[in-house]
Amino acid sequence: MAKVVVLGAGVAGHTCASFLKKKLGKHHEVVVVSPNSYYQWIPSNIWVGVGQMTIDQVRFKLQKVYDRWGIVFKQAKAVSIHPEGGSGYERGYVTIEYTDEQHAGQTEIVDYDYLVNATGPKLNFEATEGLGPDKNSLSVCTYSHAAHAWGKLQESIAKMQAGQKQHFVIGTGHAMATCQGAAFEYILNVAYEISKLGLSKMAQITWISNEYELGDFGMAGAFIKRGGYITPTKVFTESLLAEYGINWIRRAGVYKVEPGVVHYENLDGEMKTEQFDFAMLIPSFSGVGMTAFDKGGADITDQMFLPNKFMKVDANYNAKPFDEWSADDWPTIYQAPKYDNIYAAGIAFAPPHPISKPQASPNGRQIFPTPPRTGMPSGVIGKIVALNIAEQIKGGHKEHHHKASMARMGAACIVSGGFGSFDGLGASMTIFPIVPDWEKYPEWGRDMTYSVGEAGLAGHWLKFILHYLFFHKAKGYPFWYLIPE
């Protein structure tokens, strides 16, 4: 019997575990370790943040699903990896620390034949002074953060109804933050709710971003076909913001948030401030900070992880100028280079280089988005890692028949622009590939046959339907495996 341990139960980890169990069956053991007892569908947190969904509409208990599937679930956080064993263990193991009420603080050793690191990101609020929902800004990165933001939004709405103008600042809260898409969705939904209440004249809404041009989204922007014409995402994004009367600040590296004041530096080296009554700012991401040790107890963390604490995989991490990177430098199977039974899926893997061109102010502050790996890419990576491991276990080989480079993978994204059955808005966009390949597609960097975008009510309904479709898949209901990632 083989034992596969999956660290994390987000999109990548949960997808990986579900396909592992489906392929391996009851003859092999699948263990999931996650500090949260819930699975959450993060893309719908923005609707929690504007009061259109409740917390329980975007989450469900993992234990019940894993019991039905025959997966062992441990509510705990991974602390360290010991890929060579030691301390009486012949095979690799991880140390975990329980986070549930009954066993909180207790540690355990969990050994494995295969290990998948799908821990996702640490929300690195402390990288920006004063940032975070326990300090001076809000977040929609978790369902609890989003519910808190909705409470604060209600307070601002009440003040506007009482005749007091409010300034909303929404965007990125660090000079190298990613996940611009979530913040962009949120600002559109906030503007939509304010407009629906007839309060637009009482609100000043400002988008603040580290993007060089709007619509970059950490993937160097894109060109899409829209209405038969080639349109840059810059124009697509600016048109949506303008339609909602939203101002914007770009090329901004937020470095401090005080009560009511955002401090940022722009690429010209100017130190500026923006006043606010309500601020939702996405933090930077880092790896969760696991350590690693060899059989003799020597620290090998720097051999398995980059300084940003994301795990090294089969990518080219050799330093070279940005213009010399190529699509072939991106990983395809997400296997750790030193240990062939360890993989990293989703946000947990370390990208080899930025997708957006690095930019720095005259003062040396780097101001540009880091690569996104959320949503569809995380699910696809989690699935191919599971399929490769399952085939190796059942076939007794080390071959990888499934690959998913982000430079060879497309992505579909639907940005909510307002929750409404008959007047809502969704911007639908597909990109292929995610990482532009200028050698293969010298004119646009991507295949324009599959890079398209449209905005309208149909996009809202599609995103709404996908919310329930992906919950069906995540809960393992009949034919869940037929629903694509």
Q: Where are the domains of the chain?
A: 3-123+286-395
Rounded CA-CA distance 362/332 in Å is: 37
Residue 460 buriedness (CB in 10 A; 0-12 / 13-18 / 19+): buried
Q: Is the pLDDT of residue 453 over 80?
A: no
Of 77-81, 167-171, 295-299, 429-433, the range with the lowest mean pLDDT is: 429-433
**How does residue 425 score in pLDDT terms, banded at 50, 70 and 90?**
confident
Q: Which pLDDT does position 481 carry in this prediction?
A: 92
Q: Is the pLDDT of residue 17 over 80?
A: yes
In the predicted model, what is the mean pLDDT of the chain? Answer: 95
| Strand 72-82 with 29-34, pairing | parallel
Q: Which pLDDT does position 421 carry in this prediction?
A: 79
**How does residue 426 score in pLDDT terms, banded at 50, 70 and 90?**
confident
Q: Is the pLDDT of residue 295 over 80?
A: yes
Q: Is the pLDDT of residue 459 over 90?
A: no
Q: Letter for the amino acid at 5?
A: V
Helix (H, G, I), strand (E, B), or coil: what is residue 372?
coil
Q: Which pLDDT does position 88 carry in this prediction?
A: 86
- pLDDT > 90 in the chain, percent: 85
- pLDDT > 70 in the chain, percent: 100
Q: Which fold has domain 3-123+286-395?
A: FAD/NAD(P)-binding domain (3.50.50)
Please, are residues 434 and 377 in contact by the beta-carbon 8 Å criterion? Answer: yes
Q: Which of 454, 240, 255 has its CA nearest to residue 364?
A: 255
Q: Give the E-state strand segments of 322-402 in sequence order.
A: 342-344
Q: Is the pLDDT of residue 227 over 80?
A: no
For residue range 246-293, what is the model confidence (pLDDT) as tens digits? Answer: 999 999 999 999 999 999 999 999 999 999 999 999 999 999 999 999
**How does residue 305 score in pLDDT terms, banded at 50, 70 and 90?**
very high
Q: Is the pLDDT of residue 418 over 90?
A: no
3-state secondary structure 3-67: EEEEECCCHHHHHHHHHHHHHHHHHCEEEEEECCCEEECHHHHHHHCCCCCCHHHCEEEHHHHHH
DSSP 114: E
Q: Which pLDDT does position 334 carry in this prediction?
A: 98
For residue range 463-485, what is the model confidence (pLDDT) as tens digits? Answer: 899 899 999 999 999 999 999 88
**Residue owning tokens 């940022």:** 264
- Which helix H or strand E contains 182, and what residues bound it? helix 180-196
Q: Is the pLDDT of residue 35 over 90?
A: yes
Q: Is the pLDDT of residue 80 over 90?
A: yes
For residue range 321-379, what is the model confidence (pLDDT) as tens digits? Answer: 999 999 999 999 999 999 999 999 999 999 999 999 999 999 999 999 999 988 889 99
- Which helix H or strand E contains 191, and what residues bound it? helix 180-196
φ and ψ of 278, to 5 deg: -140, 125
Q: Which pLDDT does position 455 carry in this prediction?
A: 78
Of 25-34, 112-121, 195-204, 405-414, the range with the lowest mean pLDDT is: 405-414
Q: Which pLDDT does position 420 carry in this prediction?
A: 82
Q: Is the pLDDT of residue 228 over 80?
A: no
What mean pLDDT comes out for the span 225-237? 84
Q: Which pLDDT does position 290 carry in this prediction?
A: 98
What mean pLDDT comes out for the span 290-304? 97
Global pTM reads 0.95
Neighbours of 468 (CB within 10 A): 12
